[in-house]
Chain A
Amino acid sequence: MAFLSSLVNGLSLGSIYAIIALGYTMVYGIAKMLNFAHGDVIMVGAYIAFCGAQYWGLPPVMCVLTAMLVCTVLGVTIERLAYRPLRQATSLAVLITAIGMSYLLQNLALQIWGANPKSFPVDLVALPGFTLFGGQLRISGVTLVTVLANIVIMAALTFFTSRTKLGKAMRCVSEDRGAAELMGISVNRTISLTFAIGSALAAIAGVLLCSAYPTLQPTTGSMPGIKAFTAAVFGGIGSIPGAMVGGLLLGIIEILSRAYISTELADAIVFAVLIVVLLVKPTGLLGKQVREKV
């Protein structure tokens, strides 16, 4: 039963990773850049929701919506100011800028909210949990909401990218930017839209993450961010189902190694998995092979 309980925890953490990984994978697929600051957008989202509940007295749904709104604006602004001017630059330059952005967000949060960890209001996601097998397996409300949110988001995104006009435009841009532009798709607007969706998802992930692990500080987002990127690479970067598979597997691996191998080494094991996957299948589990052209 302990194993099953770990598995449920892993599923919950994995769902959070999957939602974060979606942001990475969409941006990487379309803008061909690793948005290092994505993890810190999560942190900002969590802080906004925290402020909404603690200081502004908003109802839970409004807290989440406010966080999503702020993060969307933040994500689009970051893209406009820092990444768009570097559209033609080398990937090294873009990556260093993104790292700079990540540090900027962390340190701004440090100046605004201070270094002391805030305890996140756990009752923000207030749904009664339930027990199975005569009280041996407890599934909390947060876990339930997290897994459900993950499924809903995944279904909505799959529908969006495969059926709607904007979603199809996104896929076009990711396939061939030049050709998409010739077909009359506004590349800049599509990339902005991608950042907006990714950042809104980050806000949701932030709230869910802090509901499950309720300590909030300026560095809260960086480790889950890096692990979620790992998950995105694991599942095959650029692929939406890949992000889901990668996130869930990574969450389960992390929780199981924490329970059965060693707490200290759990992170090391997660990263070792990434390295092994990249060596065996460099495009990830569900990624597609891209030929290099001279």
Chain B
Amino acid sequence: MNAKKKRLIYNLSTYAIVVIAFAWCQFLLNNGGMTRSLKGQLVPICCWVIMAVSLNLVVGISGELSLGHAGFMSVGAFTGIILSGWLQNGMGMADETLRLVIAIAGGGLLAGIAGVMIGIPVLRLRGDYLAIVTLAFGEIIRNVMNCLYVSVEGRGLHIDFLNPSLPGKLLLNGPNGAVSVSKISTFTAGFILVMLSLFVVLNLTNSRSGRAIMAVRDARIAAESVGINTTKYRMMAFVISAVLAGMAGALYGLNYSTLVAGKFKFDQSINVLVFVVLGGIGNTMGAVVAAAALTILPELLREFSTYRMLVYAIVLIVVMLATNNPLLKQWFSNMTNRARGLVRRDKPAADGEGGNPA
């Protein structure tokens, strides 16, 4: 009963953080209390939050290190841009909201298909091999996107590879990326998408399937021997994560007037990984907070931006050492226990159960 209650509180507070942040931003927007640069960051923040939540599903819940997450975002982004451009120029659809919804759904769908196609070979591997192959796939996707040319003529789409001379209006121009994209992403859409991805991931982790995924993570052979289909559950986590990343990508792509495939390099996958690690691997709420905070911070501290990646790198190493080295872990738990002991002495009846200070 207690564990259930705890989980409920955790889930509700995760949603609450997002809702409160959204309401607060809306309040600031309506009262003009937000700088221009911060306003421009609202949609990207939503995108990175979704990316962090979805990568957390693979790295934290399913326990596989995927280094090609930006590749799925790239697939989603370019699918979204092509769909939206086609609907606008080819089909004459003026309704921006509908176009955005279709673009996001299409981006998610295609990224999901890419997830299945990549997942089938990748999930046969384990550990470091899996990481390096996801990295390879991320690079392949980027290379292929760099060679893709798409144009819209009448109601039809021309898609070609390595051939820039296409008739009609060019939507995707090879290495120059997408040009003159109509910016239709909105902060509200971002908020809804964040809530949706949280709903999917939190419900999944607390379901039978989610428990199976975590069982495979903790003890693959044991899980297999009690009849859990390990491939199916690893695949489930991988594909759902890809779909969410694709949706985030579509939202991200339709937020800028131009977009190049180089935007989704290996560095971006690492960026998202930093969000996940800093939020606490496997902790969805942490991923949300870390992604939002680390997207806003460099924006607020301009002079800090040259050192951003340097600090990220140090943070990554220190967090990993602090959470995985037995000696350091012991030291930290002693410190927290001592701090708890101090608090308890101040307020003797504050906390009923809890662990005894060591």
Binds A, one of B98-106, B136-144, B189-197, B230-238: B136-144
A114 CB to closest chain B CB, in angstroms?
11
In the complex, chain B residues whose CB is within 8 Å of the CB of A294: 221
A93 CB to closest chain B CB, in angstroms?
4
Is A217 located at the chain interface by the 8 A CB criterion? Answer: no
Shortest Cβ distance from A111 into B: residue: B310
In the complex, chain A residues whose CB is within 8 Å of the CB of B127: 91-92
B243 CB to closest chain A CB, in angstroms?
22
Binds A, one of B27-35, B252-260, B317-325, B342-350: B317-325
State the majority secondary structure of interface residues on A: helix
Cα(A31)–Cα(B58), bound, Å: 25
Is B45 located at the chain interface by the 8 A CB criterion? Answer: no
Is A20 located at the chain interface by the 8 A CB criterion? Answer: no
In the complex, chain B residues whose CB is within 8 Å of the CB of A89: 320, 324-325
Cα(A198)–Cα(B99), bound, Å: 54
Q: B288-331 toward A: CB 8 Å interface, digit per residue (1/0)?
A: 00000000000000000011011011111100110111111000
> Which single member of A103, A226, A271, A275 contacts B312 (CB below 8 Å)?
A103
Which of A100, A104, A222, A229 gathers the greatest number of chain B CB atoms within 10 Å? A100
Contact flag A85-B325 (CB < 8 Å), given A264-B147, A264-B162, A275-B121: yes
Cα(A93)–Cα(B320), bound, Å: 6
Cα(A111)–Cα(B308), bound, Å: 12
Shortest Cβ distance from A101 into B: residue: B317
Q: A71-109 toward B: CB 8 Å interface, digit per residue (1/0)?
A: 000000000001001101111110111011111101110
Is B24 located at the chain interface by the 8 A CB criterion? Answer: no
User: A interface, how many residues as a size bin?
Assistant: 35 or more
Is A274 located at the chain interface by the 8 A CB criterion? Answer: yes
Is B4 located at the chain interface by the 8 A CB criterion? Answer: no
> Which single member of B136, B175, B316 contacts A230 (CB below 8 Å)?
B136
Q: A192-230 toward B: CB 8 Å interface, digit per residue (1/0)?
A: 000000000000000000000000000000100010011
Cα(A271)–Cα(B327), bound, Å: 39
Is A272 located at the chain interface by the 8 A CB criterion? Answer: yes
Inter-subunit contact B128/A91 (CB<8 Å):
yes
Inter-subunit contact B139/A271 (CB<8 Å):
yes
In the complex, chain B residues whose CB is within 8 Å of the CB of A28: 128
Inter-chain pairs besides A99-B67, A106-B309, 13 sampled, C-beta below 8 Å: A86-B320, A88-B326, A89-B325, A92-B59, A93-B323, A100-B320, A110-B310, A111-B306, A233-B132, A265-B143, A268-B144, A271-B140, A292-B221
Q: Which residues of B contact A (CB under 8 A)?
A: 59, 63, 65, 67, 121, 124-125, 127-129, 131-133, 135-137, 139-140, 143-144, 146-147, 162, 175, 221, 266, 270, 273, 277, 281, 306-307, 309-310, 312-317, 320-321, 323-328
Q: List 22 interface pairs A-B (beta carbons < 8 Å), by A numbering.
A: A85-B328, A86-B321, A92-B127, A99-B67, A100-B313, A100-B315, A100-B316, A100-B320, A103-B313, A104-B313, A110-B310, A230-B132, A230-B136, A233-B129, A262-B162, A264-B146, A265-B147, A268-B143, A275-B136, A275-B137, A279-B121, A279-B124
**In the complex, the 8 A-B pairs of residues with the closest C-beta atoms, listed nearest first:** A100-B316, A271-B136, A103-B313, A268-B143, A104-B313, A89-B324, A107-B310, A100-B317
